[in-house]
Structure 1
Amino acid sequence: MIVALLNQKGGVGKTTLALHLAGEWARRGQRVTVIDADPQGSALDWSQQRARECLPRLFGVVGLARDTLHREAPELARDADHIVIDGPPRVAGLMRSALLAADLVLIPVQPSPFDGWASAEMLALLGEARIYRPQLAARFVLNRCGARTVIARETAETLADHDPPVLASTIGQRVAFADTAQSGRLVSEVDDDSPAAREIAALCVEIGRLGL
């Protein structure tokens, strides 16, 4: 399965979710490759930091920030159970290529009206891609949610009426994610029973239940 994390808006946590989903699948014994399709190269930076810390390699990270992604990703998928694409913000050609490559598009949004407005452009691109890939599945993921905040609940309720729908699993606003990003680690490696690690595990399980 090729999963692309995409949103035109930057700073919504695409790289964090991409790396942690890949890590969770790898922990479950699956072969995973992350494609860093963001010209900023944050996933590659994380992988290099991990190597400097002499941590074991859980999955490969490949830099592929070009609009031939939809032709190259299926080749990589032959040797993997999952390909996770960490998509670019505001690069329409790259975004279209990632959409054409994917089986599932995850659109991370933060509980804020501004993220809802920013995702409109993303949904237009998704609609274009479905002309060529009508089977393309997509889901919103609520990320960086404050615990039981009104705005998080209201955002979830608003997205419940959307196409694509929102996943039930949400990811909290947790310092653990920022701490691990700097050290090349995953939250499950620091404490696999932490709230952050449990949220990532639940997200993986829910994605698996989509049956793609």
Structure 2
Amino acid sequence: MPVIALVGNKGGAGKTTLSVNLASCLAKRFSVAVIDADPQGSALQWRAFSENEQAVPVFEATDELEDQAQQLSQQYQYVLLDCPPSVHAIQTTTALAFVDTALIPVQPSPVDLWATVHIENAVQEARETNPPLRALLVVNQLETRTMLSKLVRDALSEIGLPIANTSLRRRAIYRSSALEGKSVFEMGRRGTDAAAELEQLITEVLHDDS
């Protein structure tokens, strides 16, 4: 079953937020598990805060990350890996060597843009041992009416990685849902717009994977 890694080279890009919310989105149709491979353990903390017994299970990464992912993929239809915010971390390089897809959230800022260049290099290196690896940049926390957002998206197009058509806007609901140990799908009407964006992104990812 497909294994998807959330990869970044800078903290604060929204990697864990995207991990748990995409997992919750997939869980509406599939069985899903998350492996928290980030030493900060944010996904594990999110799951610990949750009072929903049916919430997506989150497992702490072991030293045998590939074996762990393969074992979970026999039990779940999708496995998501929340990697550390560094392409040089052993968890990230290990994940890129075996996962099917790498999703790379990028905020519309020059600093994120510079960090993404290193991710492109890491993806190309990983493809030497994992040729089928798919990688997709996801513009996250987009502020649609700012010139900076447009300029950064244009700049990302110069990087040798495809950009998802679906961008995720900056929304307070992501922060408030995390504080409650919930995904935006559990936030009722307040989470409707964010949920719709995530559904659109998942549809795009699954379509490209077919």
Q: Under a length normalisation based on structure 2, what TM-score does the superposition of the two structures give?
A: 0.93
Residue 133 of structure 2 aligns with an amino acid whose one-letter code is: L
* Corresponding residue of 2:167: 170
Matches within 5 A, 1:121-136: 121-136=118-133
Runs of 4+ in 1 over 6 A off after TM superposition: none
Q: Secondary structure at the match of 1:70?
A: helix
* Corresponding residue of 1:32: 32
Between the two proteins, the alignment pairs up a number of residues equal to: 207
Structure 1 unaligned blocks of 5 or more: none
How far did 1:155 drift?
1.9
Looking at structure 1, the residues matched to 111 and 103 of structure 2 have their Cα atoms a distance apart, in angstroms, of 18
Does the 8 A contact of 1:191 with 1:197 survive in 2? no
Looking at structure 1, the residues matched to 183 and 92 of structure 2 have their Cα atoms a distance apart, in angstroms, of 26
Identity %: 34
Aligned CA-pair RMSD:
1.5
Looking at structure 2, the residues matched to 126 and 70 of structure 1 have their Cα atoms a distance apart, in angstroms, of 17
* Corresponding residue of 1:180: 177
* Corresponding residue of 1:78: 74
Looking at structure 1, the residues matched to 148 and 35 of structure 2 have their Cα atoms a distance apart, in angstroms, of 32
How far did 1:189 drift?
1.2
How far did 1:71 drift?
2.9
Q: Secondary structure at the match of 1:202?
A: helix
Given the alignment, which residue of 90, 94, 99 partners 1:93?
90
Does the 8 A contact of 1:6 with 1:106 survive in 2? yes
Structure 2 unaligned blocks of 5 or more: none
Given the alignment, which residue of 85, 99, 102 partners 1:102?
99
Deviations 1:103-146 (CA, angstroms, capped at 9, x unpaired): 00011100011111111222222111100011100010000111
Q: Under a length normalisation based on structure 1, what TM-score does the superposition of the two structures give?
A: 0.92
Deviations 1:16-61 (CA, angstroms, capped at 9, x unpaired): 0000010001112x000000000010000010100xxx32323210
Residue 143 of structure 1 aligns with an amino acid whose one-letter code is: N
Matches within 5 A, 1:1-212: 1-28=2-29, 30-50=30-50, 54-64=51-61, 66=63, 68-90=64-86, 91-191=88-188, 194-212=192-210
How far did 1:65 drift?
5.5
Looking at structure 2, the residues matched to 7 and 43 of structure 1 have their Cα atoms a distance apart, in angstroms, of 15
Looking at structure 2, the residues matched to 209 and 119 of structure 1 have their Cα atoms a distance apart, in angstroms, of 24
Does the 8 A contact of 2:47 with 2:55 survive in 1? no
